[in-house]
Amino acid sequence: MTPSDRHAEKTAEWDGGLERARAALYKKYRTWISGHDGAFLYEKIIQQLYMAILEPGDACIDVGANKGFHSFPMAAAVGNTGKVYAFEPISELNAALVDRARREGVGQVEFIVAALGSTTGVAEFFNIKNYTPLSGLKLRSPPADAVIEKIRVPLMRLDDRIPRDVRIRFIKIDVEGGELDVIKGSLELIKRDRPVIVFEDGRDKAAENYQYTIDDYFGVLSGAELVPLDILGARITRANWQDKQVYYTVLCPKEHLDDVSEILRLTVAEKVIGAAEAIRRARELKAAVS
């Protein structure tokens, strides 16, 4: 065996071992999260992901801003020269966001009172006043003590609302089941700007509530050349689509799949096991997603 052959063999062994280690860590993440506050951890992973991708001067979108958990960190990531479009259909929440931005001197966020979907007009919206994050265009299974108010809100498509000369780098969508409709209303933007997208993904339950099928789901993503990964980095396929243990999905532009996957894996590692190396490597990969 030549030295080059031995090197190739050792490299293959290393790569195989690394992949096995990643698989073991992924299994560990899922097991660990199932016994902890997964929702909060997912939100922190999402935050770290866009902080790794966004740079000063970039533009991004927060669909379902609610109380600004992501809008304001996004604003910090893009800086005074960047732009955040934050959509929140509940006018009281939107007013509170505007007031907070004024008090904190955050001028790079545009707060828009509207729901988003695949059509335009005026829509009925279910405002669950004591559980506002559960509010949406469809009424799902609210808590027994829910205080529900029906309101009328503007309905928009991102393709109609975002200026075509603004390049969007990242989109976060959390609209309680209507996420695929938001994506369908953003296809021109997605094909033009190729952003990374993170959305709450109810899979079959969202499909039932919003009347679409698994074929619709994968058809929309395939047509836009987006590859779905769950928030822990595993590929989503037809075979595991009904697995709802991990309910946030990252849509990677096909041409940036490797880079986004690596950023996501390192982000998860940083949040779950506190790997200092993860931070360094994620920063190195920022420039790859452009």
In order of their start, the domains of the chain are 19-288 (3.40.50.150)
Beta bridge partner(s), residue 252: 227
pLDDT exceeds 80 at position 290: no
How much is the average pLDDT of 150-160?
A: 98
How much is the average pLDDT of 18-40?
A: 52
Q: CB under 8 Å to 243, separation ≥6 — which residues? A: 203
Residue-wise pLDDT for 168-202, tens only, equals: 999 999 999 999 999 999 999 999 999 999 999 99
Q: What pLDDT sits at residue 41? A: 76
Residue-wise pLDDT for 98-146, tens only, equals: 999 999 999 999 999 999 999 999 999 999 999 898 999 998 888 889 8
Please enumerate, as own/partner, the contacts of 67-72 that have beta carbons within 8 Å and a separation of 24 or more: 67/93, 67/96, 67/97, 67/132, 68/97, 68/100, 69/43, 70/43, 70/46, 70/172, 71/97, 71/109, 71/111, 72/100, 72/101, 72/104, 72/106, 72/109
Neighbours of 247 (CB within 10 A): 18
How much is the average pLDDT of 69-77?
A: 97
